[in-house]
């Protein structure tokens, strides 16, 4: 019953269980007679761009009455003074309301679709009474931390007299010879000249406590000239910033030319009301934003802060400003931001951390806006300098950083919404943060951390290979069993891309790829090598268009083999111990075969360490010839016993058959002739034989050879008569001969095992 009630409540009140992706200002304040603009953001999907937008006022019973909508409806209270404008490219719409009155104060909603649904955001609008209009009071409205210039006119007879600025309470702020300590360094009087009948009072770095009524005065007594000024210091209204989860946002701060040489900062307001520095131009940076923040100074007091890899916890109230200490202080200019994180993001989820091993590789999957499939894709590496820096490493238009040649490739996948960047030949210096970005939508910038951990790469290829012009070259890349079901490929690296080489069943080409699944390696063959074949080659694995591990080898092309060295074929048994390394290049049928083992120098011996990289140890110059001699001995010791065993077995069988051909019937069936003992027919059922009763009758011809005994004993050769023995069938004699053959084979095999283990 309780479950049923809970289900009903969830169906009736879905808004309680769902966070709305609509975002706008929580509080808006203004004064009577002014205009207010309210901007509301929504997820920029194709449906949301075209759906109905509305602004409604909430009643006491929770009903929200629509005042204006994007479909052209305007209530009578808003006729002539309100409008709603949609900006689909920004994913936002703006409601402008002019001629405000105190009756406009209340609770409102901006939303999409129907006002009774949950796709909305609550906004509180407060309209206060404006100052009483007085002819002799001038109003100055200035933002907190900014500068105000108050104009004070006077008559000519007071041009040479003292100039003052008082507070309405009578407190002197400044005169020609004095400055109040509370305004020291912030207030000054400027007199344009004797011909000007006006002086100016300038107050910088305004504080909230500076607000109030001021009196500027020229001269003393009844002949003095006075002017009343109403100074209003306002806290900056936070500007809304709409961010996508895992995406990026940009804070643009414009503080004015006077703050050009002052330290700049971005801070985040905490629950106690103070502002914690996120980043500043003095080098301070919050560890929570390490690897995903940049500060760029643009001159004239302007700077921007880019924040990527957005998390849910990044939402909140931010301030950007300037101060010599690089942090917020009262009286210094600031701008306010309210960051909202849309958790119903269209940016796909990717690992924020990838791990690689020294000498191995990693694949970074980078998302981009599908509407911008033709945009240029980049990868940059974040550097933790004073303000943060991210130099470009590779781009989709063929640019690649020089030190990453042969190591870094960008694979474009048009229409898939992602592109892949592969970095191989990893070193410990490659650890850090990498950013994916395009020259299009700045919200689609993502960050990934690369960590280098202990381990060895799974794919094994030779380090460097020298090919001979006009010859054929075969490269082999060994892979472990875990990649058996993966697609394997070879590609040739060039300008930040790796062009895949065609396989044999695609089209005839000089570069062919074949794979031997049984021996777990993929080979690449270059037929009739030319100079243009020189360069970096990669072998790799992938599955369902997701790129996995890669390994790189550099192929140099020369006219002749250097030092007449040869490359041995690949060792397909990684577990077998290699006594002596063969030459690095060996020409067989005009084909140079490349050993995947890593050779150090001519005459080196490779020690196989299982799944680990092959070790290398030095050997003497005569080790190669000794190894060849030992191999010949091993071959001889194997073939000779085997030949003797086969010969002995054949002789034993022939003697047995010749001795007992007597009483043997010869059966001729068509073109096949087979000697069968008559006793075999009698005993056939004892061995499970079945008569072929269903077979068609075959003409058989049985001839009893009277000369069987003469054939068994050659002419001229007489032997003494032996006592008669019980006759055995030819089958029994054959069994005995076969048993003797097995005993002889076992003896020879045992003798072979007592020899040194060289096989």
End-to-end Cα distance, the chain? 79
Higher pLDDT, 497 or 696: 497
Query: Taking a C-beta distance cutoff of 8 angstroms, is the pair 182, 246 a contact?
Result: no
Q: Check residue 370 and give left, alpha or beta (phi > 0: left; psi -120 to 50: alpha).
A: alpha
Bridge partners for 106 per DSSP = 125
How far apart are the C-alpha atoms of 179 and 163, rounded to whole Å?
A: 12
Distance between CA atoms of residues 559 and 568, nearest Å: 19
DSSP category for residue 661: -
Q: In the numeric block, which tokens belong to residue 629?
A: 């001699």
**Range from 77-81, 257-261, 323-327, 560-564 carrying the lowest mean pLDDT:** 560-564
Q: Considering only 258-267, 449-458, 636-645, which range has the smallest mean pLDDT?
A: 636-645
Going across the sheet that includes 198-203, the strands are: 148-153, 198-203, 187-191
466 DSSP β-pair partners:
556
- Measured at the alpha carbon of residue 640, what is the angle toward residues 637 and 642, in degrees to the nearest 5? 105
Give the chain's length: 759
Element (H, E) at 3: helix 2-12
Cβ atoms of 661 and 676 within 8 Å: the answer is: no
Lowest pLDDT segment from 128-137, 204-213, 645-654: 128-137
Could you give the strand order of the β-sheet that contains 293-299, starting from the edge strand earlier in sequence? Answer: 248-254, 302-308, 293-299
DSSP 225-256: EEEEEEEEEEPPPPEEEEEETTSEEEEEEE--
Is-above-0.85 flag for pTM?
no
- Would you say residue 254 has pLDDT above 80? yes
**pLDDT bucket at 741, cuts 50 / 70 / 90:** low
Q: What is the radius of gyration, based on Cα positions, of the chain?
A: 47
Asked if residues 174 and 164 have their Cβ atoms less than 8 Å apart, the reply is: yes
Q: How far apart are CA 368 and CA 413, in angstroms?
A: 11
Q: How does pLDDT run across 90-130, given as a tens digit for each residue? A: 889 999 999 999 999 999 999 999 887 768 999 999 998 76
pLDDT tens, position by position, 534-557? 999 999 999 887 899 999 999 999
Residue 2 pLDDT grade (very low, low, confident, very high; cuts 50, 70, 90): very low
What are the tokens at 171?
A: 């407190």
- Angle formed by the axes of helices 730-754 and 623-659, to 10°? 160
Q: Across 17-119, where does the E strand assignment appear? A: 27-31, 36-41, 53-58, 64-69, 82-87, 92-97, 106-112
**Average of per-residue pLDDT across 560-576:** 44
Phi, psi of 144 (to 5 degrees): -55, 135
Is residue 182 over pLDDT 60? yes
> Which residues in 311-428 belong to E strands, given as ranges?
316-322, 334-342, 353-357, 361-367, 377-382, 392-395, 408-413, 418-424
Within 8 A by CB and 6+ apart from 191, the residues are 163, 199, 200
Average pLDDT over all residues of the chain: 76
The C-alpha atoms of residue 708 and residue 704 are separated, in whole angstroms, by 9
Query: Tokens for 532?
Result: 């243009």
Q: pLDDT tier at 564 (50, 70, 90 boundaries)?
A: very low
- CA–chain centroid gap for 98, Å, is 49
């Amino acid at each position: 019953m309780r479950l049923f009630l809970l289900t009903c409540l969830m169906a009736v009140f879905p808004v309680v269980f769902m966070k709305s992706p609509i975002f706008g200002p929580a509080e808006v304040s203004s004064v009577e007679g002014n205009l207010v603009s309210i901007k509301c953001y929504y997820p920029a999907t194709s449906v949301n761009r075209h759906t109905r937008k509305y602004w409604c006022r909430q009643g006491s019973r929770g009903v929200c009455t629509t005042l204006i909508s994007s479909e052209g409806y305007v209530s009578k209270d808003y006729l002539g003074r309100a409008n709603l404008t949609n900006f689909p490219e920004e994913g936002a719409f703006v409601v402008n309301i002019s001629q405000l009155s105190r009756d406009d104060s209340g609770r409102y909603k901006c939303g999409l679709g129907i006002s009774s649904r949950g796709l909305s955001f609550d906004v509180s609008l407060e309209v206060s009474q404006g100052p009483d209009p007085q002819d002799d009071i001038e109003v100055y409205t200035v933002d907190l931390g900014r500068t105000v210039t108050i104009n004070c006119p006077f008559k000519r007879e007071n041009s040479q007299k003292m100039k003052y600025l008082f507070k309405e309470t009578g407190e002197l702020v400044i005169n020609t010879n004095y400055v109040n300590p509370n305004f020291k360094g912030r207030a000054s009087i400027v007199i344009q000249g004797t011909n000007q009948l006006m002086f100016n009072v300038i107050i910088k770095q305004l504080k909230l406590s500076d607000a109030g009524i001021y009196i500027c005065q020229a001269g003393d007594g009844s002949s003095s000239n006075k002017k009343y000024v109403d100074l209003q210091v306002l806290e900056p209204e936070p500007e809304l910033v709409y961010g996508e989860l895992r995406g990026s946002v940009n804070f643009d701060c414009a503080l004015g030319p006077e703050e050009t040489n002052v330290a700049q900062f971005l801070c985040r307001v905490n629950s106690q009301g103070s502002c914690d520095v996120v980043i500043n131009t003095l080098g301070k940076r919050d560890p929570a934003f390490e690897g995903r923040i940049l500060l760029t100074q643009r001159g004239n007091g302007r700077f921007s802060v880019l924040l990527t890899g957005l998390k849910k916890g990044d939402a909140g109230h931010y301030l950007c400003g300037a101060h010599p200490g690089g942090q917020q202080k009262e009286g210094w200019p600031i701008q306010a931001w309210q960051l909202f994180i849309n958790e119903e993001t269209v940016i796909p989820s990717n690992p924020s951390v990838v791990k690689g091993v020294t000498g191995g590789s990693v694949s970074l999957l980078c998302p981009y806006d599908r509407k911008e499939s033709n945009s240029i894709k980049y990868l940059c590496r974040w550097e933790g300098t004073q303000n943060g820096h991210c130099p470009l490493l590779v781009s989709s238009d063929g640019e690649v950083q020089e030190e990453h040649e042969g190591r870094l490739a960008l694979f474009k996948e048009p229409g898939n919404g992602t592109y892949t960047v592969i970095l191989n030949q990893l070193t410990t210096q490659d650890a850090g943060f990498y950013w994916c970005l395009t020259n299009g939508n700045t919200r689609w910038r993502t960050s990934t951390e690369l960590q280098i951990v202990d381990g060895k790469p799974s794919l094994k290829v030779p380090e460097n290979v020298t090919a001979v012009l006009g010859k054929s070259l075969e490269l082999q890349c060994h892979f472990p069993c875990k990649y058996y079901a993966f697609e394997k490929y070879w590609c040739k690296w060039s300008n930040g891309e790796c062009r895949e080489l065609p396989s044999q069943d695609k089209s005839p080409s000089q570069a062919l790829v074949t794979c031997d699944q049984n021996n777990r390696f993929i080979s690449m063959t270059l037929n009739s090598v030319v100079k243009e074949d020189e360069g970096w080659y990669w072998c790799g694995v992938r599955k369902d268009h997701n790129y996995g591990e890669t390994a790189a080898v550099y192929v140099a092309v020369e006219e002749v083999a250097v030092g007449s060295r040869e490359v041995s074929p690949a060792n397909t048994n990684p577990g077998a111990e290699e006594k002596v390394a063969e030459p690095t290049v060996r020409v067989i049928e005009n084909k140079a075969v490349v050993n995947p083992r890593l050779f150090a120098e001519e005459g080196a011996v490779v020690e196989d360490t299982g799944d680990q990289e092959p070790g290398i140890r030095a050997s003497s110059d005569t080790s190669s010839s000794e190894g060849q001699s030992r191999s010949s001995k091993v071959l001889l010791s194997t073939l000779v016993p085997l030949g003797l065993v086969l010969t002995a077995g054949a002789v034993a069988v022939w003697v047995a058959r010749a001795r007992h051909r007597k009483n043997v019937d010869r059966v001729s069936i068509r073109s096949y002739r087979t000697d069968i003992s008559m006793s075999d027919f009698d005993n056939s059922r004892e061995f499970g034989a079945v008569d072929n009763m269903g077979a068609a009758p075959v003409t058989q011809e049985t001839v009893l050879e009277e000369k069987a005994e003469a054939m068994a004993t050659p002419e001229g050769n007489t032997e003494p008569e032996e006592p008669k023995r019980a006759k055995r069938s030819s089958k029994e004699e054959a069994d005995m001969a076969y048993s003797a053959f097995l005993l002889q084979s076992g003896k020879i095999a045992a003798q072979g095992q007592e020899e040194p283990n060289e096989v």
